[in-house]
Amino acid sequence: MMDRYAELYDGFRWQVPEHYNIAHACCGQWAADRSRHALDWEDESGARAAYSFHDIQAAANRLSNALAALGVTRGDRVAIILPQRPETAIAYIAIFQMGAIALPLSHLFGPEALEYRMHHAEASVALVEPTTIANLCAIRERLPHLRHVIGVGGARETGCRPGRRSSSAPRALFLR
């Protein structure tokens, strides 16, 4: 058998379209069909929810608008400190569609690991939930680029104030 690795390597070229948005490729292109199923979710207590692409896109649009209202623009880093939950998928779509950069951080990271990554990435916003907000609050004052913290899933901590909420939007809290 002949080794063709060098030939294949030299001949390979990425075919990247001039205009491409991963959020549209993953969700937006199917969002017009309200019946197109996207996600089933079940939490530890057995509560379940089902989401269509339309549901995810609508929630992502709301989050993109909220992030833009907070001053997030193309190229800004947004830390996602969430476990696998619907809000995590929504956050990625929202961040990608506005051209911001998602900074995925494990919900298992302690304060030092979060501080190192968020400081060096210059994250301006962080999304947290009840199990991750305490670790972020412990280092909040040592993150000079962090302007806003958005909590989902009932995240509450001293220094947080409730954000505006529509009946279908995840609860949001902002840490000052």
Please name the residue that has the structure tokens 């907000």: 133
Q: Cα 173 vs. chain centroid, distance in angstroms?
A: 15
pLDDT score for 1? 79
* Burial class, 31, CB count within 10 angstroms (exposed 0-12 / middle 13-18 / buried 19+): buried
Check residues 59 and 173 and name the one with the higher pLDDT: 59
Task: Give residues with Cβ within 8 angstroms of 32, minimum separation 6.
Answer: 54
Instruction: Kindly report, residue by residue over 75-133, the tens digit of the pLDDT.
Output: 999 999 999 999 999 999 999 999 999 999 999 999 999 999 999 999 999 999 999 99
pLDDT score for 155? 80
Instruction: Kindly report, residue by residue over 14-63, the tens digit of the pLDDT.
Output: 988 999 999 999 999 999 999 999 999 998 899 999 999 999 999 999 99
* Burial class, 1, CB count within 10 angstroms (exposed 0-12 / middle 13-18 / buried 19+): exposed
Is 90 in contact with 23 (CB distance < 8 Å)?
Answer: no
Report the alpha-carbon distance of residue 12 to residue 90 in Å, rounded: 34
How is residue 88 written in tokens?
């995590």
Is 34 in contact with 52 (CB distance < 8 Å)?
Answer: yes
Q: State the maximum Cα–Cα separation within the chain, in Å, rounded to a whole number.
A: 66
Is 155 in contact with 131 (CB distance < 8 Å)?
Answer: no
Report the alpha-carbon distance of residue 48 to residue 81 in Å, rounded: 22
pLDDT score for 175? 40
pLDDT score for 157? 59
Single-letter amino acid, residue 96 = F
pLDDT score for 154? 80
pLDDT score for 153? 84
Angle at the Cα of 92 from the Cα atoms of 91 and 95, rounded to 5 degrees: 80
Q: What is the mean pLDDT of the chain?
A: 89
- What is the band of 160 on the pLDDT scale with cuts at 50, 70, 90? very low
